[in-house]
Structures are given as C-alpha cells and as structure tokens.
Amino acid sequence: MTTASTASSSSSAPFTPVRIPLDPQLVEIRHYLHAHPERSFREFETSKYLAGQLRDHGITVLDLPKPLETGVIGLIEGTAGPGPRVGLRADIDGLPVHEETGLPYASVNEGVMHACGHDFHMAGLLGAAFWLAEHRDRFAGSVKIVFQPAEELGEGAHRCIEAGVADDVDAMAGTHNNPNYKPGEVAVGVEPMMAGCVKFRVSLHATGTHAGYPHKGTGPIEALASMILALQTIVSRNVSPFHAVVVSITEVHGGDVWNVVPAEAGFQGTVRFFDQADERIVASRFREQVEDTARAYGITADIVWDVNQRPLVGDPKLSETVADDVPAYAKLRPIRPSMAGEDFEEFSRHVPVVFAFIGSNGELGCPDWHSPNFIGLDGAIEPAVNFYANAALRLLRELA
C-alpha cells in the first residue's frame, strides 16, 4: 500500500482521464477470438492466446499458488512508486449456440459461439493492458489483469476467488457489452445493474403404472402441470408490483413411453430478482406450493434452490467517481438494469467493485445476448479499452 506522503502528493493534482484511440490490431484480435470460441472451463486455446498476447507486450503472466485450469492472470507494475493494487476483469467463455450471423469471422467451432459478446470483453481488456504496460510511469501501484473462465456457468468467479485472485487487490472493475446501448455509450453508476440469479430444480417421485390403469399408480404428470401453473402466480400475488422479479420454468421432463404413467418427472428453471427480500419471499412460496401440490397428488418432491448470484451493485463512492470520468471518452448513459445474471458479483463480496455496460449495437430490434443472431459492433472496443484503462487509473488514485 502507498505511504501517507505518497497518497497526499498524488491526490493533490486533479485527475485527467485519458482518451485512447482504437488500435486496429484490437479489431483483428476481437475477430479472431469471435471465430474461435470455447465453452466454459474448456477455454484452453483461448487462455494460451491471451497469455501469449500479454507476454508479447511485456506483461507478467502470474503462476497462482492454486493454478487455474483455464483463465489467465497478468500483472502490470507501475513505476511511479508504491501504491494499491486494482483488478480488471473480463470473462472469456463462449456458449453452446450454433452461430447464424453470417459474419465473415463467424465461429469455426461447430456449436459454440460468443453469443454473449465475451470476445469484446477480452479485446477491450487486452487493449487497456497494452496501454497500461506502455505507460507504467503514469501510475503508482499495480494492475492485475483477470481473464476469468466460465462466467456462463456462474462458477468462474468463484474458482478465481478460491485461487486467491482477489486476495491482494483493493478494488476491481469489470464490464459487459450491452446491445441495448449504441457503441460509444457507457452506463455506470450506483444502481443495481444485473439481477440476482436462482437456479431451481424439482424432482417428483410417484408410483408408475400402465397407462390403462392409472388408478393403480400415482402419476406425476398432472401434479407437474398444476405446479407449473401455480408457480406463475407467486410474483403477481406476493411481490410488490414496483419490484422486478421473474420466475421462469425452462425445462420439463417426464416419461418416455406412450403407454406408461412414469414414476419420475420434474422441471427446472430460474428466478431473477433485484431485492434479496423478494428472493426469500419467492423461495418460501415456491416450496409451499410445490410441497403442498405434491402432497395433494399423493407423491413426493425434492427441491434444489441454488442462489447462483446476488444482484450486481457497484460500490457507491467508487462507481460515482469512475462515472464522472466517462464523458471524457464516451457518452454516459443511465443504467437500464438487466435481468441477466453476472458472476462478477462474487468479487463484490471480497473487494469494492465498479461495473459498466458498454454499448455494442443499439439498433432497434437487434438480437440480444445468447441469440444465434447476436451481432456486436467493433465500435464497442474503443470505449471498453478506455473504460478499463481509466477505471484502473482512477481507482489507483482514489485508493492511494
């Protein structure tokens, strides 16, 4: 950490944000990464590529005490003296989606696509890392570059934290491209940005029988149908209409023979929320409805309720400070909260965080994240580079 005298002298002069022009090589890098996506925890070639890019620009690639199987952690030491350490994070995994964009740099890995724009995140963070490495004399302290695996599984941040990535940092900044904003637009602030995420699974256990003799069993299909309908009333009848909460059942299974009443059935899905009190209400009513319905049909139910992430909210003071710098390099826009989840939230349980949406399309009706037709525009790269670099410089300054 910095000494008191260093902190005093560094904070006496006003902070001036930098404006970094787009390096054309970052467009080429982004196109290469888009064409070569890899699924969560399988990002082996992606990790090799990122590590190579860091080393080629004189950036140290760290060997962690508890190594990550995929993902890359770099370190850039400033030469302006001792100081705090901040982290910059980008996620690196693709999705099991068959790309249908027709782009000349579309995925060459069959059935895998950067349908959530993580190629932008990687290119933006690489650009910031290159600039910071070239301008070490502009900052005291150090910047940890975190290329995190498996965000799409909601497990990568936790794996990084277990490996000690957050142990020696004083704050972290992250981004997510957002096609609902135009390139050149950035949203960052103190409001909740991305929803808390629950993954639930219900398994129903009954007594199977011949379809012609349903009275000799206790089939689960009717109970399953009743539960699905009843669960859709939880939000409308238990949560304030001024709060955003979603209950979605996304997968249903039961039986595989036309003339057999199955003994097992089930369903799974997700709940999204911005208030943890709402999550507790939904969890309680969910269990009551499932268990009471199962009892009424003479069967039993097992429920798995896994809170993957809490709502993502940036540190108030640091987020406001970073937001103040955005107009120097992009158009600052209001936050429009997303019902998608983001495991960057886990870092906020250990260190203060700042998070930003980086506009990546903005056309009316454009496909959103996870669509096989998702198209992000290269114009998103430059604002991402500038956000990462300026957030690092500002956080180092504020924490000194």
**Contact between 368 and 307 (Cβ < 8 Å):** no
205 is in an annotated binding site: no
Residue 147: CA atoms inside 13 Å, Cβ hemisphere, count?
Answer: 36
Phi-psi region of 17 (alpha: psi -120 to 50; beta: other; left: phi over 0): beta
Q: Which of 279, 308, 337 is the last residue of a domain?
A: 308
118-134 and 381-399 helices cross at what angle (nearest 10)?
50
Dihedral (CA of 179, 183, 273, 87) sign: positive
Task: Specify the pLDDT at position 65.
Answer: 84
Q: Domain holding 257: CATH number?
A: 3.30.70.360
The pLDDT tens digits along the chain (400 residues) read 443 333 434 456 789 999 999 999 999 999 999 999 999 999 999 999 999 999 999 999 999 988 999 999 999 999 999 999 999 999 999 999 999 999 999 999 999 999 999 999 999 999 999 999 999 999 999 999 999 999 999 999 999 999 999 999 999 999 999 999 999 999 999 999 999 999 999 999 999 999 999 999 998 999 999 999 999 999 999 999 999 999 999 999 999 999 999 999 999 999 999 999 999 999 999 999 999 999 999 999 999 999 989 999 999 999 999 999 999 999 999 999 999 999 999 999 999 999 999 999 999 999 999 999 999 999 999 999 999 999 999 999 999 9
Q: Domain holding 354: CATH number?
A: 3.40.630.10
In terms of domains, do 184 and 212 share one?
A: no
176 is in an annotated binding site: yes
Residue 41: CA atoms inside 13 Å, Cβ hemisphere, count?
Answer: 8
Q: What is the C-alpha separation between 132 and 61, in angstroms, rounded?
A: 15
DSSP 3-state of 75: strand
**3-class SS letters over 188-242:** CCCCCCECEEEEEEEEEECECEECCCHHHCECCHHHHHHHHHHHCCHHHHHCCCC
Task: Specify the pLDDT at position 12.
Answer: 62
Phi, psi of 135 (to 5 degrees): -125, 45
In terms of domains, do 218 and 262 share one?
A: yes
In terms of domains, do 91 and 159 share one?
A: yes
370 is in an annotated binding site: yes
In terms of domains, do 324 and 334 share one?
A: yes
Q: Print the domain residue range for 96.
A: 4-194+312-399
In terms of domains, do 36 and 117 share one?
A: yes
In terms of domains, do 248 and 272 share one?
A: yes
The tokens 């070639």 sit on which residue?
45
Dihedral (CA of 316, 186, 22, 44) sign: positive
In terms of domains, do 207 and 184 share one?
A: no
**β-bridge partners, 358:** 177, 186
**38: exposed, middle or buried (C-beta count within 10 Å: 0-12, 13-18, 19+)?**
buried
In terms of domains, do 205 and 122 share one?
A: no
Q: Read off the amino acid at residue 356.
A: A
Pairing of strands 331-332, 185-187: parallel
Phi, psi of 180 (to 5 degrees): -85, -5
Q: What is the C-alpha separation between 75 and 111, in angstroms, rounded?
A: 34
Q: What is the C-alpha separation between 121 and 26, in angstroms, rounded?
A: 11
Outline where 232-275 has alpha helix (H): 234-238
Task: Specify the pLDDT at position 11.
Answer: 52
152 is in an annotated binding site: yes
Q: Which of 246, 279, 308 is the last residue of a domain?
A: 308
Looking at the structure of the chain, the number of domains it has is 2
CB atoms within 10 A of CB 342: 22
Task: Specify the pLDDT at position 13.
Answer: 78
In terms of domains, do 243 and 270 share one?
A: yes
158 is in an annotated binding site: no
Token duo for residue 299: 């069967």
**Contact between 157 and 172 (Cβ < 8 Å):** no
